[in-house]
Amino acid sequence: MTLAQWTEVDDYFNGLLVGPDEALDAAVEAGDGAGLPAIQVAANQGKLLNLLARLQGARTVLEIGTLGGYSTIWLARALPESGKVVTLEADPAYAEVARANIERAGLADVVEIRVGRALDTLPELAAQGHGPFDVVFIDADKPSNPDYLAWSLKLTRPGSLIIADNVVRDGEVVDGASEDPKVQGVRRFTELVAAEPTLTATALQTVGSKGYDGLMMALVTGQAPESR
């Protein structure tokens, strides 16, 4: 199987199940035009995030890693009128692109972008009394995933869903000797999720237009493992 085949299959399903979308397509175009890396989730993955947030009945979402706001728009659209997404982005230029994209999508009142390293903005959020969030989407610098897990646990409640992207990394996640700090970040994150008694989780490998990677989903149970 090749990337071309995976992309063709993504295109097939997206053509029937996702479809063109003015605001989302414009967000990708604006990101490309501004020179942002094309590392946003694929359309069918964005739709999955949207469906998961809706299944959760989410009113509040915390996103770590905004880029141009593509996944932010998918998540924000899942929320009721009074809902709120707080999204964290380190790069001020990316955040500006995201701001314009989110405004064009009519979601400026729903989304708050906080600019700065997430390990600085997360403690601020907590100190300001934000949370608990119904959904957390972790999609930023992978070496920090273990810290993002700790903050996610502080900023959620039993019943919340924590989602992490890019946990497979072309299969490298199984290489314990990897010298790639992203791989090690994802491995440590996975071990911490596995050891956390208040979480129950799974991870799925994915292929598609974005290559070979995967998603972790962890439900906050708030309970001991035997009652999961």
Whether the CB-CB separation of 154 and 131 falls below 8 Å is answered with: yes
What single-letter DSSP state applies at residue 78?
T
Q: Which CB sits closer to ligand SAM, 167 or 194?
A: 167
Task: Please identify, using beta-carbon distances, which residue of 207 and 215 lies nearer to ligand SAM.
Answer: 215
Q: Is 70 in the site for ligand SAM (CB under 6 A)?
A: yes
* 139 binds ligand SAM, rule: CB under 6 A: yes
Q: Contact 68/95 with Cβ under 8 angstroms?
A: no
Total site size for ligand SAM, rule CB under 6 A: 19
Residue 132, preceding peptide bond in cis (omega within 30° of 0)? yes
Instruction: Report whether 31 contacts 66 (CB < 8 A).
Output: no
Q: Does 140 bind ligand SAM (CB under 6 A)?
A: yes
Residues 105-124 touching ligand SAM, rule: CB under 6 A, are 117-118
Q: Is 71 in the site for ligand SAM (CB under 6 A)?
A: yes
CB neighbourhood size of 212 (10 A): 16
CA distance 93 to 188: 30
Minimum CB distance to ligand SAM, residue 197 (Å) = 28
Residues 8-47 that bind ligand SAM (CB under 6 A): 39-41
Contact call for residue 90 and ligand SAM (CB under 6 A)? yes
Q: Does 147 bind ligand SAM (CB under 6 A)?
A: no
Half-sphere exposure of 209 (CA within 13 A, CB side): 17
Question: What burial class does residue 79 get, using C-beta atoms within 10 Å of its C-beta: 0-12 exposed, 13-18 middle, 19+ buried?
Answer: buried
Rule CB under 6 A: say whether 135 interacts with ligand SAM.
Answer: no
Among 10, 89, 134, 147, binds ligand SAM (CB under 6 A): 89
Burial of 62 (0-12, 13-18, 19+ CB in 10 A): buried
Q: By C-beta, is 24 or 193 nearer to ligand SAM?
A: 24
Out of 48, 61, 67, 107, the only residue in the binding site for ligand SAM (CB under 6 A) is 67
Which residues of the chain form contacts with ligand SAM (CB under 6 A)? 39-41, 65-67, 70-71, 88-91, 94, 117-118, 139-141, 144
